[in-house]
Each structure stands twice: as structure tokens, then as C-alpha cells.
Amino acid sequence: MTTEIRVPTLGESVTEATVATWFKKPGDSVAVDEMLCELETDKVTVEVPSPSNGTIAEIVAAEGETVGVDALLATISEGAGAKPASAKKATQGAAVAAGSVDVMVPTLGESVTEATVSTWFKAVGDTVSQDEMLCELETDKVSVEVPSPAAGTLAEISAPEGATVDASARLAVISSSGATGVKAPPAPAAAVTPAVATSGAKDVKNAPSAEKAMAQAGISSDAVTGTGRDGRIMKEDVAAAVAAVAAAQPATASLPTPAAAGAPRAPVPADDAAREERVKMTRLRQTIAKRLKDSQNTAAQLTTYNEVDMTEVMNLRSTYKQQFEKKHGVRLGFMSFFTKACCHALKEVPEVNAEIDGTDIVYKNFVHMGVAAGTPTGLVVPVIRDADSMSFAAIEKAIAEKGKRARDGKLTMAEMQGGTFTISNGGVYGSLLSSPILNPPQSGILGMHKIQDRPMAINGEVVIRPMMYVSMSYDHRIVDGKGAVTFLVRVKDALEDPRRLLMDL
């Protein structure tokens, strides 16, 4: 009996992933729930367990291959010996000629008709092995890695970096005889070819996302310490290495920000132009920029501000933090106070906890609180479900657990979806005041900031108090100014007198 291993559901709006790591090979015995491979999407890493006991008969999707939801990854033979792994098919649409193999553009996905060649990892004349990554394409939606369909020598590069190719174009030619025929056409003058670490010197193949990150950063694998299985370099390892280099060279100049499409750049003196570096925006970055701007154009976003005297919260926390931690096994932080205060305010101003769906307003009779968390690879927003019905201790435990999973890269897509309101704490990085951007389709987001001692007039006297600026960005299409201000005032009142939370006032 044969069991098929297929790509699991990757989450809302995620339609494909890259096979990052296989932990088993054909012929290996596996137990039920044993991890077989790891998939990477643009948001999270997904582990694929074995659904049964048996033997790996065939691996259909090799490392570095892009697969869609429900695509076949491998097969498991239950009880019988392993079937020999079938030869991997040549890249989709590859044309095989006598002694040579054409490398074609792989299937790009529904409604995607063209791509841009972003990076070549091999040069004409280089020896390549089957399934070794040759180049990377970028579309409006995802990055697509192109593996070699056969072992041989890279005889020709038909599409250089920066070239736009359609879905049926030829990218290169692999010569099985080792002879190099047509030389690669020259790359555009403005193209910058990053230094790429070859994997030939290592027995352990690095994660495809790590290879991409090293190529983009222009660093060698020798400068990166791998923490993956058998010393395999992961994407997080590259990020750590880049951060270390940045810390050692704080004066490194940043790249100029490309001008918005359609906006002509102001004239630049020749002396300044000679010291600039121009890098073409990737298709993916262009799409991100467009969608962010579309989001701003769609939501009528406004921000209201206030300030909170944190004296009572700090006194309450100082008084009970030891007893709280002893009883509940978790520290009493500020986030539980802000979460409870927001849940309290959302009951009074329900439009902040709603979203627009066409011509309807959908009111949420529950609070799934998104809590932004910083990780080595970027900012993620795990969701605390039904936060409005949780105690202080339950909220603190949930935030601690989600934060740890976020830092370890173990969050699932489901844990980052469905939020109805979000809290962003820029204060942990020293931010004094900011205007957070809405997270559609949510209609509101609260910004926390740094607690700073400031002189305040209290009962006719000037006293020093620990103050925090708070901000609330909201969608004015659904939330009126009165509702937004009322919400933030209710949050302020609850924090300045936490007893109001106990009495539901």
C-alpha cells in the first residue's frame, strides 16, 4: 500500500511554498508523525510529518522546488521495500536535444505570464549537477527558483539578470558533453552580480532561502555559521551574520530609496551621482510598494493621540508582580494591562472592532488580539484568540508562549490570522511617538510607546510622572472621530485607574 505525502494547507492567501529541507531520503524507514521535510513560504516555515509508518519510496519534489497547495511531495510504501526514486523530471517544458538540455521558465502560477531574472548562481562554463539551483526568477507574487534539469556544463545563458521573460521562454542550455557553445549575453551595465557561495565545497546543502539571502547580501557561506541539521545554513543564520557585519560597520551607507513610479527624480550634481549606487527594484518589492500604497488609498486612515500616566499601573505591577509570578508561573508585564484595557474599550466602541465587507459592516462580538512581536527575521503579529474572555495571567502566558514561538520561527499561519484589533509596542525599541499603519481588514491599531518621566501639572502642582504617549490609527470609513477619540480615552482611563477594569466601568 502506498501513501501520498502532499503539501498541507499553507494559510489564507498563501498558494505555494519552497521545499527547503528533506530530512529523509528514498529507502529510509519513517514512523508516523516523524518529520519528513520543511517547506518555506514568504511568511512562515511549515513542517510536514509522516501520516503513517513505512519506507520513503519516492521524493517527487526536490529541495529548492516551488510547489502549490496539495501538490505531491513524496510517497511512502507501507511494509514493502522502497521503490527506487524516479528520475526527476526536467524543468517544466524543458526541451532535450542531442547532448544538451534546454532550461525553460517553470510554471509561474495562475494569472502570472512573465517574470524577471533576478539572480544567476552559475556562470557559463560552470559544472552543474542535477537539481542544483541555477537561477532565481521574480514575479509579481513570489520568487521562483530554477533547478538544473540535468548534470553537465552550463553552455549558454539565454536570459541575463534583469531580463523579463514570458512563461514559455528558454533561460539557458545545459551541455551534457561539457562543451560550451554560445556564450552568455552580457548583463545590463547597471546590474550588480552578488558574490555567491558555491555549495560544491560542502557535503550539506544549504537551505534555498539561505542561498538566496547570501546572494542578496553578497556574503560567502564561509562567513556564516549554520545552525541547521548537520551544520546546514538556514535563512536565520544569514540574517544573524548580516546583522553582525552591520554592527561592526555602523557607518555603512544605505542604498538610495528609488523614486515612486511616475515621479521624476530631481537633478543630482555629478559629484554626488558618481558616489551613488543604483539598484533596480525587484518585481516583488515593486509589488509590495504598490500594495502598501493601495492599502493607504483604500482605507481613510487617520491617527489620534493621547498620553497616559502610568503611575497606577506601575505601582500595581510593583506590588503584586512577585505574588503573581509565584502563583501563575509567568511575569506580570504591561501588555496584559493594555490588552485588557483595549478589550474593555472595544465593547463600548464596537465599530473599532469591525471590518468592511463590500457594502456591509461586520461587527465582531469577540476580540482576537494581534500582538506585534519582533523576531530575527522581521516583525510578526501572532493572534491571542478570545482575549476579551481571558484573565491577566492567561493573557501573559499566551503572549509569552506566542512570543517564544515567534522568535523560534515556529508560528503557524493559523496563529497569525483572524485578528480583529492589533497592539504594536514601539516603546521597546525606544519610540517616543508614532502613527502605526492599519493591518487590513482591521479598522484600528493601538501604538504603545516609551515610558518617560515628564513634569505634569497635578492639582495645581508640578510633579514628575511616568508618561506614555499612545496613538490609535483607524479607518475613518467605518470609525468616526468621536468613536476613535472615545476609544483612546477609555484606554487611558482604564490604565490610569486599573480598578475600572475590575468593576467594568
The residue written with cell numbers 501520498 in the block is: 4
Contact assessment for residue 53 and residue 3, using Cβ atoms and an 8 Å cutoff: no
Whole-Å CA distances, 340 to 182, 263, 350, 366, 411: 67, 45, 15, 13, 23
The residue written with cell numbers 482611563 in the block is: 493
Q: Collapsing DSSP states into helix, strand and coil, what is residue 274?
A: helix
Question: Beta 369-371 vs 421-425: how paired, if at all?
Answer: parallel
Helix locations, 351-422, DSSP H:
392-407
Residues 54, 38: Cα–Cα separation, whole Å: 19
Partners of residue 452 on adjacent β-strands: 467
CA 89 to chain centre: 30
Active site residues: 476, 480
Which stretches of 79-183 are assigned E, i.e. beta strand?
96-97, 100-104, 114-120, 127-128, 133-138, 143-147, 152-157, 164-166, 170-175
Nearest in space to 472 (alpha carbons), one of 485, 463, 457, 490:
485
Residues 66, 89: Cα–Cα separation, whole Å: 14
Residues 373, 394: Cα–Cα separation, whole Å: 18
Contact assessment for residue 106 and residue 113, using Cβ atoms and an 8 Å cutoff: no
Taking each continuous run of H as one helix and of E as one strand, the counts in the chain are: 9, 28
Contact assessment for residue 446 and residue 491, using Cβ atoms and an 8 Å cutoff: yes
Helix locations, 161-234, DSSP H:
208-217
Q: How many CB atoms lie within 10 A of CB 269?
A: 7
Phi, psi of 419 (to 5 degrees): -65, 145
Nearest in space to 158 (alpha carbons), one of 150, 166, 209:
166
Phi, psi of 408 (to 5 degrees): -85, 0
Whole-Å CA distances, 200 to 126, 204, 232, 308, 339: 11, 9, 13, 59, 51
Whole-Å CA distances, 223 to 127, 238, 473: 24, 9, 42
Contact assessment for residue 286 and residue 258, using Cβ atoms and an 8 Å cutoff: no
Contact assessment for residue 6 and residue 17, using Cβ atoms and an 8 Å cutoff: no
Residues 381, 375: Cα–Cα separation, whole Å: 10
